[in-house]
Amino acid sequence: MNQTRYDQSLQISGKELVEEVDVCVIGSGAGGGVIASELACRRHRVVLLEAGGFQTKKDFNQREFDMNRKLYWENRLLESEDTGVGMSVARLVGGGTGVNDGVALRSTAENLDRWVQDGLKGYSRADLDPYYEKVEEIMHAQTYPRFEWNRNNTLFAEGLESLGEEPHPVPVYIVECHKSGFCNLGCKYNSKQGNFLTYLPRGFTNGLRLYANTEAYKINLNPKGEAYSVDALISTETKGFPPTALKVLAKVVVLAAGPIYTTMLLLKNGLANSSGNVGRGLSNHPSIAVIGVHDREVHQYRGTPIQVDKLYPLGQGNYVVEANKTYPMELSYIIPGWGKEHKERMKKLNYFQNIYTYVSEDEPIGTVTINKRTGKPSIKKPLTEKDKKAFSLGMAKAKQILKAVGAGDIFTTHYVSAHIEGMCRMGPNPKKDVVNLHGETYDVPRLFIGDASVFPRPVAVNPSLTIMAIAHKTAEYIDADEKGYFG
Amino acid sequence: MPELKLLTDEEYKILEALSKAIIPAGDNPKTDPGAIETEAAVFLDEILSNGDHYFASDFKEGLLSLNKLAYQKHQKAFYLLSKEQDDLLRVFAADDYLSFNRLRKMIFQSFYSNYTKEDYQGISPWELIGYLGPVTYTHASAEMINRHYHKSQTDKTFTLD
């Protein structure tokens, strides 16, 4: 019989920790963090397992190399196997909310109407608005006045205005921003409201128990085929010391490890996949930076990164343009080429105006499977002709904006992605969907999925607010206990 | 040859030549250093030896594929080529983009991480591109003046936490 790492660890340490709770949540990001906290606030006994570490402001040193290794899966070098596109996936307490740009946008009514047309009754914009409001309040979402924008954002807005278009100020969950620009490397000033500063402390005061550096390996089922426990390993920072085995007995298990790792856990456990669609339907808002060079310094990497954007929805181009930053190490990867020309371009770093454009509703045709050699995710996400068309329109718009404010030497980069969605699709049809309209898997009662993997198609904008809003809805359903899971 | 932790001597020579092609020095290597001056290949050997086994093995395989291509096209090791290197890299990038991109990315990472050896005397990669670096670092005006007038200052010594 094959031994799991959990079994090996148990043999080495000779003991396991056992927790018995109402709810075990796997993953502390935008979805899992909200569900764990909300259920704890409603007097449930909740244990939250997080593979990443509990990092606080003292750990964030604002150096790309160090933080990529500390705060992201695979040192932020995870990439698709077909196109080599980088996929940034957070690995810390708070998940993506700890390292994103804090964008707090609600998805559009038209976008969510398409979800409703797919059968997601109860997920229209009007249905989700009360949940969005709650999230905005808890995360302190706010829009900054224009005089506080950095030069990169100001130039973007001026460019759009000179084209006769109105820029859209972006609300962010950042309080009293120190303008360092290091949102993606962890906020050293606790200005960016990752949920380790908002939701999780609310949960802690209500008895939520968190295990950081703890990777869930196995979801066990009882004879009725219901989820009833989770095996996990608590790793230690000290080399040579064996990980500690942890078993969490729970009445309800919520899997919210982010689309890629939620999918991986289900595939590795062979769970919830009678539809054959676990791992299918990946969308990722493929994005590209369009950069122009100015005569005077812009310092695109300083200041609150995203303050202004513009959405051209499906039917009007299907893309978003936004002012955004890139730090030099990542910039060096995505600027095409090498050699002297590449280096000379890098020397103009401080003069770059940086605009990102991404496909708003890319076609969810990507996949994640288990790489047989490494046991790691094998990601594939080709661009369709529709995606390419949206991309070219977005790039053209970005170039117009750059030209309008006098930028020269305009060039585009390789494409990247950060907003990974789908692969455990929510819907009304057990034959093709993985979870029902409450987020519970069709195949495994008591097992819920609480992150962006349930999205049937991408949201039109940055997804974190929508993930959190839906997590509220899922928590509400679990708490209502219609099926009597809590006895 | 430096003391290597992961790469073989042959792999190191390929990597060193490749890193020179990817990030060459300018006319004055002290004020315009490239990957050779900052010893990017040594740093890469260090971080790969501490990292994921599969990633390191793919990286090494990429180096050997590039060398194989050099033998196929020019009957010489990659590090013995001169002007032909650039054209060969273009062919390699077109044939095996994923391997090429992995090598390229890691060389850039090594250089722009700004980690240099303790005895490194040139200006740092961040100074080279004018990057202001961590806010905590450049906050004090005295430090900023230092950065502008004492170009030999490097940012941090070559160690892994």
Q: What share of chain A is helix, strand, coil (3-state, %, to 5)?
A: 30, 25, 45
Please enumerate in sequence order all residues whose Cβ is within 8 A of that of B131, keeping only pairs 6 or more positions apart, or say none: A301, A328, A349, A350
Q: In terms of DSSP bridges, do strands A447-449 and A244-255 run parallel, antiparallel, or are they unpaired?
A: parallel
| Residue A248 belongs to a domain | yes
Query: In this complex, which of A81, A339, A349 lies closest to B130 when CB atoms are compared?
Result: A349
Q: What's the rounded Cα separation, in Å, for the pair A146 and A154?
A: 8
A67 and A185 Cβ atoms separated by less than 8 Å:
yes
The chain-wide mean pLDDT, for chain A, equals 94
* Residues 6+ away with beta carbon under 8 Å from A258: A27, A29, A89, A90, A95, A96, A420, A451, A452, A453
Put simply, the answer to whether B135 touches A75 (Cβ < 8 Å) is no
Containing H/E element for A48?
strand A46-49
CA distance A363 to A360: 10
Number of domains chain A contains:
1
In a domain, A92, yes or no: no
B130:A350 CB<8 A: yes
User: What strands lie across the sheet with A308-312, from one edge to the other?
Assistant: A86-87, A408-417, A287-293, A352-359, A319-323, A308-312, A168-169
Contacts of A150 in chain B (CB under 8 A): none
Residue pLDDT, tens place only, A435-471: 999 999 999 999 999 999 999 999 999 999 999 999 9
Do the Cβ atoms of A65 and B109 come within 8 Å?
yes
Of chain A residues 310-339, which have a CB less than 8 A from chain B?
Answer: 328-329, 332-333, 338-339
What confidence score (pLDDT) does residue B113 get? 93
The one-letter code for the residue type at A278 is V
- How many Å apart are CA A234 and CA B14, to the nearest integer? 40
- In the A/B pair of chains, how many CB contacts fall below 8 A? 86
Does residue A216 form part of some domain? yes
Residues in chain A closer than 8 A to B98 (CB atoms): 81, 84
- Dihedral of CA A329/A334/A338/A342: which sign? negative
CB-based contact A59:A94 (threshold 8 Å): no
Is A204 inside a domain boundary?
A: yes
pLDDT exceeds cutoff 50 at B151: no
Which of B53, B113, B124 is the best residue to mutate to test the A interface, defined by the most A CB atoms within 10 Å of its own CB?
Answer: B113
**Beta carbons of B103 and B131 less than 8 angstroms apart:** no
SS3 A250: strand
How many CA atoms lie within 13 Å of A423's alpha carbon, on the beta-carbon side?
A: 29
- Give residue limits of the domains in chain B: 9-121
Cα end-to-end span (Å), chain B: 25
Reported ipTM: the value is: 0.91
Model confidence pLDDT, tens digit, residues B95-124: 999 999 999 999 999 999 998 887 888 899
Contact A84/B at CB under 8 A: yes
What burial class does residue A120 get, using C-beta atoms within 10 Å of its C-beta: 0-12 exposed, 13-18 middle, 19+ buried?
buried
**Residues of chain A found within 8 Å of residue B24, distances taken between Cβ atoms:** 339-340, 343
Contacts of B130 in chain A (CB under 8 A): 347, 349-350
DSSP 8-state class, residue A107? P
Q: How many CB atoms lie within 10 A of CB A445?
A: 17
3 state SS for A187-235: CCCCCECCCCCCHHHHHHCCCCEEECCEEEEEEEECCCCCEEEEEEEEC
Residue A241 placed within a domain? yes
Measured distance CA(A208)–CA(A203) in Å, rounded? 5
Q: A118-127, A237-246, B41-50 — which is least confidently predicted?
A: A237-246
pLDDT of the residue at A5 = 64
Question: The CATH number of the domain where A27 resides is what?
Answer: 3.50.50.60
Residues in chain B, total: 161
pLDDT in tens, A118-159: 999 999 999 999 999 999 999 999 999 999 999 999 999 999
Of B23, B108, B135, the CB nearest to A62: B135
CA atoms lying within 13 Å on the CB side of residue B89: 22
Q: What is the mean pLDDT of residues A380-393?
A: 95
Tell me if A429 sits within 8 A of A119, measured CB to CB: yes
Beta strand residue intervals within A237-389, DSSP E: 244-255, 280-282, 287-293, 308-312, 319-323, 352-359, 366-370, 377-380
Residue A235's pLDDT band, with cuts at 50, 70 and 90, is confident
Cα gap A305→A191, rounded to integer Å: 13
Rg (CA), chain B: 17
* Residue A86's pLDDT band (cuts 50, 70, 90): confident
Per-residue pLDDT band at A15 (split at 50, 70, 90): confident
CB of A81 within 8 Å of any CB in chain B?
Answer: yes
Q: Point out the residue among A84, A188, A301 whose CB comes nearest to the CB of B97.
A: A84
The answer to whether A464 touches A199, Cβ cutoff 8 Å, is no
Measured torsion, CA atoms of residues A402, A404, A409, A411, in degrees rounded to the nearest 10: 30
- Judged by DSSP in three states, A426 sits in strand
pLDDT for the residue numbered B158 = 36
Phi-psi region of A474 (alpha: psi -120 to 50; beta: other; left: phi over 0): alpha
Rounded-to-integer distance, Cα A216 and Cα A440, Å:
19
Q: State the residue range of the domain holding A47.
A: 1-54+105-140+196-275+424-487
Pair type for strands A214-221 and A227-234: antiparallel
Asked if the structure places residue A341 within a domain, the reply is: no
Residues in chain A within 8 Å Cβ distance of B82? none
User: What is d(CA A231, CA A268) in angstroms, rounded to the nearest whole number?
Assistant: 13
* Structure confidence at residue B140 (pLDDT): 46
Q: What pLDDT sits at residue A210?
A: 96
- If one compares A239 and A204, the residue with the highest pLDDT of the two is A204
Q: Is residue B137 scored above 90 in pLDDT?
A: no
Closest C-alpha among A439, A456, A120 to residue A283? A456
Cβ–Cβ under 8 Å, residues A259 and A367: no
